[in-house]
Structure 1
Amino acid sequence: MATTTYPRKPILISGAGLASLLLAQSLLGAQIPFLIFEKDASLSFRAQGYRLRLSAEGLDAIESVLGPKDFQTFWDRCGKTGGGGATAIDARTGLKKEFPQPPADEKPTNRVENLSSREGKIVGISRGDMRALFMKGCEAFVYFSHQVTGYELTDSGVRAVFADGSKSVEGEMLVGGEGIYSKVAKQVSGGKLKVYDTGARGIHGQAPSTAFKGLGEGVWVMRDESNPKGKMFVITNVRPGEMDDPDVQFGWTLGSQPGVIQVPNDDYSLVGKPAADIAKALTAEWDPKLRPLFTEMTEYEAAFWKITCSTPSGVPEWKNEPRVTVIGDAVHSMTPAGGIGANTAMRDSALLGKLLADAGGYKEGITEAYEKEMRIYGSEAVKSSYGMAKMQFGVVIDGNSNTV
């Protein structure tokens, strides 16, 4: 690939997901050169996934990177839903019900959390909007259609290795942020970083906001515990002021115990009408006020997904490589339970970005300092997410579990 002249070698970043782009914003603000390598052909190459709920920690991390002006733009794009937590509904009767709780002798990490994060509101934003906002100013430094499959260290830096065998320019440091299938994570950790297939499956979908009138404002969890195939749930965030506009769409996420949602060949890329038809069939006997979410759904937006999780005991130790580290799902993949994953990734980006900014760029000891602090909060987050998923989805990760 073409070389670029910089006053110093760039920080190389694998993947153009949320964590990578927020890290890039840190480097952009500190005038530290960087290059991003993304395997997809563009940001719109594939579906962006479900709407993200932002915790206080996640918002604080984003604000610390973007600064007051750009954070205000971000904040204005976020939706704000009233209420402090989620409301559970029996999907078949439409009646409110209590959330299941863990045994009394278990730590309360599995209990329903307060979802509000600022101004007494539950704050959320679509993954696509968030990614577009974080991309601002970074466009010239992103190389699309470049899949990183590993790296090689040099005498004075590191190069990313691509799927076609070519290599990047030499960088001062490489950050693996390419998600659960990260080759950088496997290489730098010597295989210690693993992502498990829990067996649980899900479908993302969306429908016109008018389909949600039967619910009204709030975060809702519809639970179907009498389906003969196994337990299912749907979670959605209904924002105020838009339920009369058919041009506005709200999203939902359907999840299930292992074995309930099945697609041909367990195809991770199944999207559109086939995925929509599965969701419609599974919810055909649900309460009439909930059915419009599925009967009126935008079929081409539906997408099947696998629920994965990193090692439940937390982020493992590996021999530190001063010039290579990992962020986001590449180092701590989590189930959707609790909405913890994206917020933890934001903390990674803010932490590593600050360390690099304070040093004016790469210096020895940065990756070690980052990993030491990240392992603490990252391990807590993985344990909590797995604990909630174990209770909600019936997933169990053990020595017989498959990795992805």
Structure 2
Amino acid sequence: MPAAPLHISIVGAGLGGLCLAQALNRRGIAFDVYERDAAPASRTQGYRIRIDHMGQQALEACLPAELFSLFKATSALPVQGVNLVDTQLEAVRGKWVDAWRRASGEAGSCEADDLSVNRQTLREILLEGIGDRVHFGKAYVRYREGDDGRVLTSFSDALSSVSDLLVAADGVNSMVRRRRLPAAMPADTGFVCVYGKTYPAPTVLERISDLLPSRTSIVFGDGLAVIIDPMRFRPQPAGYRLSKPEDYIYWAVVGAREKLGIGWEGGDALSQDELAARLERTTKEWHAGLRALFQEGDRSALAMQPVRTADVPSAWPGNAITMLGDAIHSMSPAGGLGANTALHDAHLLARQLGEAAAGRLPLRAAIGSYEAAMRGHGARAILASQRATEVLLGSRDSRHGRPEPVLAGQAPRALR
């Protein structure tokens, strides 16, 4: 006997929430996505994201074939090789070289090459074809479980929705998780990530070291690390209204707050001029060709995020509210695993909801099966990200105890 039609409410229109929405759309499952931001590009959310083999598999499973092809076509042109250097741009040895080469599709690897994409472009692709079901300017307020097992969710503009399942995809500061699992709050590690981009104009390239514009670079400092990735794009594919990013050099500086001269302000408390001044002071002894990358950066694009991480809690009693991505397993960006894990969550949850929609599995059993799998792979990703932080920064984060040894093949690929 066919199951009754399902309706899914998703709070959060980030990559994980939109990937889930696309997968539900493919399966004919009704959904609505609610996002507190006023518009898709109303807030800085990062400039480069590296999609690994797991993330690509999830996107291929969740997106229509033409959108998955569009995702690949809009990724940055691949670069050859990786610079592993110190702050004077001298070569560094013994820092996860082998793991990086395997991640880059070297001969002998059975995995697809990682793809670097502009985060905003990927978000626009994930909105294709479902824009009428994604509602911006809708801040989550509360939810209430009904006697019939369904969920009433209320939003700041007095809008409400009734659904069979509420999915929290609203990131590290998830308000849904605060009520659903109040003990699962992520902790501030004491690290921050300052990220930006530099446009490679001829006058800028004259000042920047020749090492940086053509290869991925990982710079190891004293308790600091920098990830640098050139982002060069192909001509815009026809038939889609995507914002075309200019070519740029992406960079992210991660380290302890005190190393960067940053206090415990929130991510929006420091102006971009203040962030630039702190970078200037922090890097004053670094190689001039490296410092120039920050000095020539687009000041309006400069942003900071605190690094938070959490342990995935032990199994919890099931109901009609679940979570994915940073809303439940936030982690350090050092491993480049956060977004890929969220995409994997979306794939797993959609697959289980498809079983429920087809009447092959009760809805609560489908949710429970997803959550068990999500807890397992989320915990593994958090551990890998902790180890990656140790490799990049030479220290453990303050959220966790004695650092564990880094195992071969588990070193980080890149910051998100």
TM-score class normalised by the smaller sequence: 0.7 to 0.9
In the aligned structure 1, how far is the partner of 2:129 from the partner of 2:176? 25
Structure 2 residue corresponding to 1:89, chosen from 79, 85, 92: 85
What is the 5 A alignment of 1:229-240?
231-239=223-231
Shift of 1:39: 1.1
The answer to whether structure 1 residue 175 and structure 2 residue 167 are counterparts is yes
Secondary structure of the 1:59 match is helix
Which residue in the other structure is 1:107 paired with? none
Which residue in the other structure is 2:145 paired with? 153
Which residue in the other structure is 2:186 paired with? 195
In the aligned structure 2, how far is the partner of 1:49 from the partner of 1:248? 15
Unaligned stretches of 5+ residues in structure 2: 235-244, 402-416
Which residue in the other structure is 2:414 paired with? none
Which residue in the other structure is 2:399 paired with? 397
Report sequence identity in percent: 26
Relative distance call for 1:310 and 1:111 in structure 2 (3 A) is farther
Secondary structure of the 2:172 match is coil
Which residue in the other structure is 1:36 paired with? 33
What is the 5 A alignment of 1:5-404?
8=5, 10-83=7-80, 86-91=82-87, 93-100=88-95, 114-116=102-104, 121-156=113-148, 157-163=150-156, 166=158, 168-189=160-181, 191-210=182-201, 211=205, 214-215=210-211, 216-225=213-222, 231-239=223-231, 247-263=246-262, 266-269=265-268, 270-311=270-311, 314-321=312-319, 323-360=320-357, 363-393=363-393, 394=395, 395-398=397-400
Write out per-residue CA displacement over residues 193-251 of structure 1, whole angstroms, 9 at most, x where no aligned residue: 220100111211100135466224322111222xxxxx211101125689xxx952121
Look up the equivalent residue of 1:181 and give its one-letter code. N
In the aligned structure 2, how far is the partner of 1:347 from the partner of 1:63? 11
Write out per-residue CA displacement over residues 239-273 of structure 1, whole angstroms, 9 at most, x where no aligned residue: 5689xxx9521211011124222446613113533
Unaligned stretches of 5+ residues in structure 1: 1-6, 102-109, 226-230, 400-404
In the aligned structure 2, how far is the partner of 1:162 from the partner of 1:71? 32
Give RMSD over aligned pairs.
2.6
Shift of 1:113: 7.2
Relative distance call for 1:167 and 1:316 in structure 2 (3 A) is farther
Write out per-residue CA displacement over residues 16-75 of structure 1, whole angstroms, 9 at most, x where no aligned residue: 110000000011111211111111111111112141111111111111111432211110
Shift of 1:288: 2.3
Secondary structure of the 1:261 match is coil
Which residue in the other structure is 1:104 paired with? none
In the aligned structure 2, how far is the partner of 1:265 from the partner of 1:324? 32
Shift of 1:299: 0.2
In the aligned structure 1, how far is the partner of 2:102 from the partner of 2:273? 35
Is the contact between residue 232 and residue 247 of structure 2 (CA under 8 Å) also seen in structure 1?
A: no
Secondary structure of the 2:183 match is coil
- Scaled by the length of structure 2, the TM-score of the pair is 0.82
Is the contact between residue 175 and residue 325 of structure 1 (CA under 8 Å) also seen in structure 2?
A: yes
Is the contact between residue 52 and residue 113 of structure 2 (CA under 8 Å) also seen in structure 1?
A: no
